[in-house]
Amino acid sequence: MNPTKIIFGKGQIEKISKEIPKDAKVLLLYGGGSIKSNGIYDQVKRALSGFDVLEFSGIPANPEYEILMEALKIIKSEQVTFMLAVGGGSVIDGVKFLSSAALYEGDEPWDILTKSIRTEKGLPFGTVLTLPATGSEMNSGSVITRKETQEKLSMGGPGLFPVFSVLDPQVVQSIPQRQLANGITDAFTHVLEQYMTYPIQAFLQDRIAESILQTLVEIAPRIMKNPADYEAAANFMWSCTMALNGLIQKGVPTDWAVHAMGHELTAMFGIDHARTLAVIAPGHYQYNFETKKEKLAQYGKRVWNIQEGSTEEIAKAAIEKTVEFFHSLGIDTKLSDYTKDFEGTAEKISERFSQRGWLGLGEHKTLAPADVLEIVKMSY
């Protein structure tokens, strides 16, 4: 079951007028204003003509609690009944927090994150995706940052699926190279987190995951060269959505340790989310080589077409291919590429995990703070 209606294709933004209740009080939310220069804002406003619409702009990358609380005030005071998120994963994740917080009855909405309160029902919202990457447009998860405490925490629940999401691949043409590279890396790593574990004879699930990886590898050079290549953009957009809409995680073990560690790097250094994943993943797969080598080799054979060598050799070559792939996008894969101030990072992250009450990371839930220490050190 996935309740989000996907409206995919050229010129589909105008369709949102049919998806929002006519009598809705709409809050349109977006980020830093790039939608005003690329024409998406105008398309959305045209589609919303006749609706009662308020606006809230300025939701930043890594959506911040303090800023979102400003939007929450408007939602409550203006009795907003429907939200429209126009943006990438940050705007959509921010709107998911607002969807939950608008109906939350406790005193302090931050508790939704710290107490892992599942959202069964949220204020309804739709999205117009402007940046393929996170998959947030077709799932019920969200990650919110609190600057004052350097925290980055997740929330979710069945009430947080968008009612609809418009995916018009034409938006890709105005995305800067850096964001394109981030989007490809983010989606690629989302698949790896749900795939690079151990074999359990989930043949179809494995193959669908590999299909997304193969497609991203195939379209990456086309997208980086020419983001106006519509067919490549459509495959890019659909791959990002399918990478994290719940499908490929069904019935299989999942890891997510790369994200857990990566989030800390964003919180500490402000490194782009996708880039933190490219920094952590290679060391993580090397460190956990023994438990992951069968899947690493399967990935090497099927995604990278490495046919010669032992399981171990193919698995090792597959990690190298992954690093090369990130480099081909212009994504650096070492922490020292991003900051000179990296000494002590592993200790600090390991310590943070300890303090939070350790539950174990990875598909076996066995990675302890001592392992995190080693993995993060391998990223220097």
Q: Is 234 in the site for its own copies (CB under 8 A)?
A: yes
Which one among 207, 327, 348, 356 touches its own copies, defined by CB under 8 A?
207
The span from the CA of 53 to the CA of 82, in Å, is: 10
CB of 186 vs its own copies, minimal distance in Å: 16
231 binds its own copies (CB under 8 A): yes
Which of these segments, 82-90, 148-156, 201-209, 264-272, binds its own copies (CB under 8 A)? Answer: 201-209
Taking the complex as a whole, how short is the minimal distance between the CB of residue 47 and its own copies, in angstroms?
20
**Within 5-24, which residues bind its own copies (CB under 8 A)?**
5-6, 8-9
Using CB under 8 A, which residues numbered 243 to 282 contact its own copies?
Answer: 247, 250-251
Span near its own copies by CB under 8 A; candidates 233-241, 254-262, 331-339, 369-377:
233-241
- Minimum CB separation of residue 279 from its own copies in Å reads 27
Among 242, 261, 372, 373, binds its own copies (CB under 8 A): 242
Measured CA to CA, the distance from residue 140 to residue 118 in angstroms comes to: 10
Stretch in the footprint of its own copies (CB under 8 A) among 1-9, 20-28, 143-151, 332-340: 1-9
| Amino acid occupying residue 79 | Q
Residue closer to its own copies by CB (options 197, 333) is: 197
What SS3 class is residue 84?
Answer: strand
Residue 307: CB minimum distance to its own copies, A: 12
Contact between 120 and its own copies per CB under 8 A: no
Binding span for its own copies by CB under 8 A among 145-153, 197-205, 260-268, 305-313 = 197-205
Rounded distance, CA 158 to CA 152, Å?
Answer: 21
Binder to its own copies among 90, 134, 235, 345 (CB under 8 A)? 235
Q: What is the DSSP string of 153-201?
A: EEEE-GGGS-SEEEE-GGGGGGS-HHHHHHHHHHHHHHHHHHHSS---S
Q: How far is the CB of 160 from its own copies (least distance, A)?
A: 15
Q: Per CB under 8 A, which region of 75-83, 147-155, 226-234, 274-282 contacts its own copies?
A: 226-234
Strand (E) or helix (H) holding 114: helix 111-114
Based on the shown chain and the rule CB under 8 A, indicate whether residue 350 belongs to the binding site for its own copies: no
In 3D space, the residue among 192, 193, 168, 171 whose CA is nearest the CA of residue 180 turns out to be 171
Beta-carbon contacts of residue 349 (< 8 Å; ≥ 6 apart) = 261, 264, 265, 268, 372, 373, 376
Distance CA 315, CA 70 (A): 49
Residue-wise DSSP of 261-319: HHHHHHHHH---HHHHHHHHHHHHHHHTHHHHHHHHHHHHHHHH---SS-HHHHHHHHH
Tokens matching residue 166: 């418009």
The single residue among 81, 211, 254, 311 that binds its own copies, judged by CB under 8 A, is: 211
DSSP state of 29: E
Per rule CB under 8 A, count of chain residues that contact its own copies? 33
Of 37, 77, 201, 305, the one binding its own copies by CB under 8 A: 201
Q: Determine the Cα angle at 37 with ends 34 and 38, to 5°.
A: 85
Interface residue list for its own copies (CB under 8 A): 1-6, 8-9, 200-205, 207-208, 210-212, 214-215, 218-219, 231-232, 234-235, 238-239, 242, 247, 250-251
